[in-house]
Amino acid sequence: MVAVAVSREQVLEWLNAVPDPEIPVLTIADLGIVRGVTINDVVTVELTPTYSGCPATEVIEQSVVDELHKHGVDDVAIKRVLSPPWTTDWITPAGRQKLKDYGIAPPGELASKRELVHGIRSIACPRCESLNTDLVSEFGSTACKASYKCSECLEPFEYFKCI
C-alpha cells in the first residue's frame, strides 16, 4: 500500500483534463459525470454513466485510472453511482459553450419531462444562430445526439439531446 499524499482538489484538477472519448472537446468534468472524489488509502472516484448503454462508460473509467497513474497515484478505485441519474442538466456552462464552439448545439436548459414527452422547441444553429432549423433525425452518430440542418447557412449540425 502506497500512502496517498494528494489533495481532493488536485485530483479534481487532473480529472478536468480527461476527455470524453466520443466528444473529445468536452472533459468528463464538463459533462458533469464526476460525482465525487474520496481519499483514504486509495483514491476513489465516483462516476455516473450518461446513458445505460453508453459504450464510452468503460473507456472513461479506464482513462480516469490511467490519468491518475500518470500522476503517480497507484491505488485508484472507480465507483459507479446511479443516483441521482445523469441528465443533460449536469453539463456545465463551460461545457455548453465548448459544445457550441465545436459545432454541436448544446441541450436546452432543463431536461424536463415535458420536453421528453412532447418534443422540442426550435434549436439554434451553432454556427449562425438561426432558429430556422429542421430536425433530420431524432437519432445521431451517438446515443446522446440528434441530427439537424440549418436552412439559413445550409449546414447540417448535431444537437445534444435533452434527456
Task: Give phi and psi for 100, each to the nearest 5.
Answer: -65, -45
- 47 class by beta-carbon count within 10 Å (0-12 exposed, 13-18 middle, 19+ buried): buried
Total residues in contact with another protein, by rule CB under 8 A: 26
Among 87, 89, 100, 149, binds another protein (CB under 8 A): 87
CB of 47 to another protein, least distance (A): 14
Residues 26-55, one symbol each (x = binds another protein by CB under 8 A, - = not), give -----------------------x-xxxxx
Region binding another protein by CB under 8 A among candidate stretches 24-32, 34-42, 82-90, 94-102: 82-90
Of 143, 133, 119, residue with least CA distance to 157? 133
Query: Do 160 and 154 meet the contact criterion of CB atoms below 8 Å apart?
Result: no
Residues 91-120 that bind another protein (CB under 8 A): 111, 113, 116-119
* Beta strands 133-137 and 104-105, pairing class: unpaired
Q: Would you tell me which residues interact with another protein (CB under 8 A)?
A: 49, 51-55, 82-87, 111, 113, 116-119, 136-140, 143, 161, 163
